[in-house]
Chains A and B, each alone.
Chain A
Amino acid sequence: MISLNELWFVLIAVLFVGFFFLEGFDFGVGMQSQMLPKDERQRRVMINSIGPFWDANEVWLITGAGAMFAAFPEWYATLFSGFYVPFVFALFGLILRGVAFEYRGKAQTAGWRTTWDLSILIGSFLPPFLLAIVFASFIKGLPIDGDMQMHAAFFGDIVNVYTVLAGLAVVLMCNIHGLLFTALRTFGELQERARRRARTLLLPTGVLLLAFVIMTYFQTDIFKVRGVLLWAIAALGLVAFLLAGYFSKQKRDGWAFAMTGAVLGLSVISVFVGLFPRVMVSSLGEAYNLTITNAASGQYSLKVMTIVALTMLPFVLGYQIWSYFIFHKRLSDKETLEY
């Protein structure tokens, strides 16, 4: 049997995998909706394709943070106060993005649209970029002292070549993921454009990802701690990545989309596997690491939460999958466009 602490570590990992898989594509659609379409109609179709989903996708992040708070309060406290400035920017992005989707279609002037389009671009870029930086610095290690307080310099500890590389790789990955989603939900010229762009982005993204894996080998201890397992995940990631390229060439958009989602998911998994049983690595010495034991809530709390989570999760997953089923058809020409 695994302990409750381990179970919650896994559950939080699952929530973040879900978040990057799901919100990954709507971040990508958000960014690409500002670069891909050739006219306003195509742009609206793209934004509408994520209309029914993006809000619920974002809740995966909110629930992930909530689960951290409840199961590992020290992790939550160290993380959110330690990354204060990056989180201000990420929140800034999330706020802009949320209202932009809702508001851009509510008035007709060009200036109005341009403002919200810019908000969608910023809001879809900042959160994945910054969250990737946060996750990368988890495994690289941060100056966390004996009181579990993190005193990190913005440039250097948080923003450095390694973490920015992770940020860019994830952002590009989200773009491809979003383009493939667009290909899945539309047809005609827009679909063709999306497919083509997804394929052009694959090569540079692959190079960035590879560079990141190589740097991870030298910059972190995770390959030493979890050698075989991590190599296996990296190999799976490589296979998924290549398959994504193959399927998109074959125009099998569904499979290609699943594969880019797998790459994003595996990236998150590799971070969590590399961390375990730590939740944050201290660069000041092993003794200062936050782990699933010293950062956790009491057993009673974990037990209560486990009961609630395991009872609710099937329903939550059920109606979310159902909502994807309701809106599974490609957007037609006669569609009501909300945004």
Chain B
Amino acid sequence: MDTVMLSRMQFASTTIFHFFFVPVTIGLSFIIAIMETMYVRSGNEEYKRMAKFWGKLFLVNFAIGVVTGILQEFQFGMNWSDYSRFVGDVFGAPLAVEALLAFFLESTFIGIWIFGWEKVSKKIHLLSIWFVAIGTTLSAFWILAANSFMQHPVGFTINNGRAEMNDFLALITNGQVLVEFPHTVLGAFATGAFLIIGISAIKLLRKQDVSFFQKSFKIAAIVGIISSIGVAFAGHWQAQYLVKTQPMKMAASEGLWGKSGDPAPWTVIANIDPENKTSTHELKIPYALSFLSYSKFSGEVKGMIELQSEYEQKYGPGNYIPPVRTTFWSFRIMIVAGMAMIFITLWAVYLMRRKKFDQPNTRFLRICLSGLVLPPIANTAGWLMTEFGRQPWTVFGLMTTERSVSPNITPGQVLFSLITFNGIYAALFVVLIYLFVKVVKKGPYTVEEESHSTDPYNKKKG
């Protein structure tokens, strides 16, 4: 394999792995901040215990998010140096601002939060978890602003063969980031919520610490329903923006080779044949693609064959069709997972409203438990669609992936890093699961006492 292919694998694995943890960090810090706010306002110790218990899981997750984030930043220079040279003027700024504005905030206040329970006042302690939550969200904004430039470059001019920023405001009010940010952050809130819902379901099924986990479940369910419905709306806006700015990605995510016809139907499933540029065995819902694209029940969507010839005229000869199958299926997987999340939270809120939640039925809790896997699936699929769908470009219309790679590194070096880092990822993943299980098994009451123990060999059960 060549350097480009290996570097793409390196980028994909780092980004996907990193993005298992980022949404959990954003979502959990927000919900923990809510719990601690309830504690400070009511004085009820139960809420403090909630913040601490979910805080344990949060920290285990946060650690991996942080360390893989460093890799995320460094790999632009290491593997994609020609990309960095070309867009550093524009792309580097949000990254630097992210570090200055968000990382410092997050990392300083997480220290105060972990170690400050007995050292600062309740209010300062509460403020510190809110700063962590705000920091993680700000960080998401800046990184998405950078990513949005890759999807839809704005606020720059080409000068001396590279992109130079000429409008910072345009960069951070990029239409792309205005739709990408709410979609991603609401998805992150839902991710945090579903983690709490799923784990609470395990404990409720086992009838352990029932009141504690019912309370947690309820808070998470409310965050969950608002955010998972919100994600769907934000996703709808994003799709409309996509049709305007990256029609090829839209066409690929529909497996649409020719024109869609007017009104356009939405393809539910299809057997896609990229070699012959056709799709067979299609199952379609009439009008739906028109609605998805334009918020009305009419309107035609361009297909890949037509766009390919348009792009050839504009950008010269080449293949401008992204990996269609990946784009098509990841879009559908994302949608199905998202729908399932809405369904579960609706059900939960229905039970809560009908006051039936206090005798929860096993079937419902089992479904909640399986809901644990939904957010990571939806998040990953969403990114696969976004990033695969943009190929062959790194910066849409400006720079291809092939041209972005570092010319002075060898396939052997990239392979070495690929093996090293994926080895660590695998090991860390196992460790993370182990620790999650351990914390959950112990439950909220033992966890607290353990952290107060000063004797490291104290194995007495608390």
Contact = CB atoms under 8 A, between A and B. Distances in A.
Contacts, number: 236
A333 B454 contact: yes
B104 A63 contact: yes
B213 to A, nearest CB: 21
A298 B164 contact: yes
Interface in B99-123: 99-101, 103-105, 107-112, 114-120
A106 B92 contact: no
A284 interface: no
B1 interface: no
A311 B456 CA distance: 45
Interface in A306-337: 308-309, 312-313, 316, 319-320, 323, 326-327, 333-337
A85 B418 CA distance: 12
A316 to B, nearest CB: 5
Contacts of A40: 456-457
A320 B435 contact: no
A8 B408 CA distance: 27
Contacts of A73: 84-85, 87-89, 92
A76 B92 contact: yes
A108 B114 CA distance: 20
Interface string B117-149: 111100000000000000000000000000000
Main secondary structure of the interface of A (DSSP, over half): helix
Given A103-B435, A298-B89, A77 B417 contact: no
B408 A74 contact: no
Contacts of B454: 41, 333-337
Interface string B421-461: 10010001001001100110000000000011011110100
A323 B86 CA distance: 39
B68 A95 contact: yes
Contacts of B273: none
Interface string A41-53: 1001000100111
B269 interface: no
B451 A338 contact: yes
A66 B73 contact: yes
Contact of B89 (A96, A297, A308, A338): A297
A300 interface: yes
B95 A66 contact: yes
Contacts of B324: none
Contacts of B434: 107
Interface residues of B, number: 79
Contact of A69 (B77, B105, B115, B165): B77
A219 interface: no
B156 to A, nearest CB: 10
Nearest to B434: A107
A72 B81 CA distance: 12
B168 to A, nearest CB: 5
Nearest to A304: B168
A93 to B, nearest CB: 10
Nearest to B439: A106
A108 B451 CA distance: 12
A70 B77 CA distance: 12
Contacts of A70: 88-89, 92-93, 95-96
A227 B87 CA distance: 37
A88 B416 contact: yes
A301 B90 contact: yes
B456 A63 contact: no
Contacts of A82: 408
A113 to B, nearest CB: 8
Contacts of A71: 92, 96
A85 B71 CA distance: 13
Given A73-B92, A95-B424, A336-B117, A55 B435 contact: no
A102 B63 contact: yes
B280 interface: no
A312 B97 CA distance: 9
A84 B413 contact: yes
A81 interface: yes
B202 to A, nearest CB: 19
A80 interface: yes
A95 B97 contact: no
Contact of A58 (B107, B114, B435): B107
A59 interface: yes
B276 interface: no
22 contacts: A41-B455, A51-B114, A55-B111, A56-B108, A74-B85, A76-B88, A77-B77, A80-B77, A81-B406, A81-B409, A84-B78, A92-B420, A99-B428, A103-B63, A297-B88, A297-B165, A298-B159, A304-B93, A319-B108, A323-B111, A326-B119, A327-B119
Q: Which 6 residue pairs across A and B have the least CB separation, nearest first?
A: A73-B88, A80-B77, A70-B92, A52-B111, A69-B92, A81-B81
Interface of B: 59-60, 62-64, 66-71, 73-74, 76-79, 81-82, 84-85, 87-93, 95-101, 103-105, 107-112, 114-120, 159, 164-166, 168, 406-409, 413, 416-417, 420-421, 424, 428, 431, 434-435, 438-439, 451-452, 454-457, 459
Interface of A: 40-41, 44, 48, 51-53, 55-56, 58-59, 62-63, 65-67, 69-71, 73-74, 76-82, 84-85, 87-88, 91-92, 94-96, 98-99, 101-103, 106-108, 147-151, 297-298, 300-301, 304-305, 308-309, 312-313, 316, 319-320, 323, 326-327, 333-338
